[in-house]
Structure 1
Amino acid sequence: MRSRRPWLRRASVTAVSATVLMALAVPAQASSTSGTPVTTTTAAAAPAPATATTTATVADAAEAADVSAAADVDYETWQRDCRAVMDQALPQLKQRIAAPRPGEKQAIVLDIDNTALETDFGFSFPQPANEPVLEVAEYAQDRGVAVFFVTARPGIIHAPTAFNLDHAGYESAGLYVRGFFDLFRNVAEYKTAQRVDIESKGYTIIANIGNSATDLSGGHAERTYKLPDYGGQLS
């Protein structure tokens, strides 16, 4: 049974970052923040100019685990709780993907850490995909839906992050990372602004998936799906 080991994860991330700093001169990706972001306490209440937002109900198991915030999180429990949420998301996405509006370009947005990738459980580089989320992404990718990634990771690790996502099986239509000035910005506002930018490219965001409230608040997605973070224990 795998358990979360934060100290080992931090050591691994530090080693990767040091290697990147010495071997790569990776500029931060510029990200447009056109328009005024809408920030609210819940995605369901946020007025989104292009799309109406519906917050999906999190599966009972994941909800209960979030509330309990156990001292440690084992891998099997986390996977079961992620699967419960994605088992709810996939039928809804299948229905929406099968009924596009005329001329519509559909997209989904994914957070990375403990959403697309097993950050707190993947003690290696490249980190493995979070399988329940990858399965949903692959279904969307295979049907022409663009998959975007919006992360709070800094731009200095854009290149290894992009490599990791590709290695894990994702087909990225765009990876948004934080530039220098974004590091001093509220994370929820930063992530909302990136979804606004995706919409400005003509996409309809039919789903936004993350494990933190900052991934999902602010609107600009038809549906949001929250994975467990067990009271903030997972990054």
Structure 2
Amino acid sequence: MPSAAPSAATQAKAARTAAALGLTAVLVVGVAPAASAADPDSHVTSAAALKDVDYGTWRKDVAAVVAEARPYIEARAQDAGREKQAIVLDIDNSSLETDFHPFWELPTPAIADVRDLVRDAHDRGVAVFFVTARPGIIHSLTDWNLRKAGYPVDGLYVRSLPDLFAEVSAYKTEKRAEIEAKGYTIVANIGNNTTDLVGGHAERTFKLPDYGGKLS
């Protein structure tokens, strides 16, 4: 059965990654159904959604989602007992400020509110995994950037063949299942795109804003 046509936001994300690498091929990725998680984009006015994304507004909207996620993650970590817990994060505009900094200026800075949440969780014994649609050719660079930006990294999943041509939501779901197979309970899954969040294999999902696909 053929996969769904790629969304404009997903195509743009793949194109930006390819341009940053000097690749000539455009990665083919899919789109998933809408996530069941609360969507902060619903609070954005229609006028704002038609304009370029304002950095200050974006940071404020991200902080609101982090404020929702923090008490839940802290409570789960406190009651962990012997349970192996983990957080899974997307990277571009979910962990790093990708669209707000030129790709040639490395390292790309962390989203401070997300980084602080993740570091606090890690200090409480929660493992931190990143699952990204970035291609495997930049695994080392991505790992370096995350650590340089101040993130703990217990695992980083990037797309290698044949994952490069798999539907993004299916690929990310599969990787979360792999993390669970290692004995982890994924207490939170954080991303700014529905493809980061659908498919289960996480207790809670927290959607960061992408303003209808304006952010990759």
TM-score calculated relative to the size of structure 1 = 0.76
- 1:65 aligned residue: 44
Length, aligned pairs only: 192
Alignment-mate amino acid for residue 146 of structure 1? A
* 1:138 aligned onto 2:152: no
- CA shift for structure 1 position 145: 0.7
* 1:116 aligned onto 2:95: yes
Pairing 1:1-235 to 2, within 5 Å after superposition: 14-15=19-20, 17-18=21-22, 41=33, 44=36, 55=37, 57-59=38-40, 62-65=41-44, 69-100=49-80, 102-123=81-102, 124-235=105-216
The 2-side partners of 1:11 and 1:93 are apart by: 32
Alignment-mate amino acid for residue 99 of structure 1? D
- CA shift for structure 1 position 78: 0.5
Q: Secondary structure at the match of 1:172?
A: coil
Alignment-mate amino acid for residue 84 of structure 1? A
Structure 2: gaps spanning 5 or more residues: 1-11, 24-31
Q: Please tell me whether the aligned partners of residues 70 and 230 of structure 1 are also in contact (alpha carbons under 8 angstroms).
A: no
Q: Secondary structure at the match of 1:125?
A: coil
Q: Please tell me whether the aligned partners of residues 77 and 125 of structure 2 are also in contact (alpha carbons under 8 angstroms).
A: no
Q: Deviations over 1:143-189 (max 9, x none)?
A: 11100000000000101000000000011010000012111110000
The 2-side partners of 1:94 and 1:211 are apart by: 21
**Relative contact order (alpha carbons < 8 A, sep ≥ 6): 1 or 2 greater?**
1
The percentage of aligned residue pairs carrying the same residue is: 54
The 1-side partners of 2:139 and 2:194 are apart by: 23
The 2-side partners of 1:139 and 1:66 are apart by: 32
The 2-side partners of 1:111 and 1:217 are apart by: 12
Moved over 4 A (4+): 10-13
Q: Please tell me whether the aligned partners of residues 17 and 134 of structure 2 are also in contact (alpha carbons under 8 angstroms).
A: no
TM-score calculated relative to the size of structure 2 = 0.82
The 1-side partners of 2:134 and 2:141 are apart by: 11
The 1-side partners of 2:86 and 2:116 are apart by: 15
The 2-side partners of 1:186 and 1:136 are apart by: 29
Alignment-mate amino acid for residue 97 of structure 1? A
Q: Deviations over 1:84-110 (max 9, x none)?
A: 11011101111111111x421000000
Structure 1: gaps spanning 5 or more residues: 1-6, 22-39, 45-54
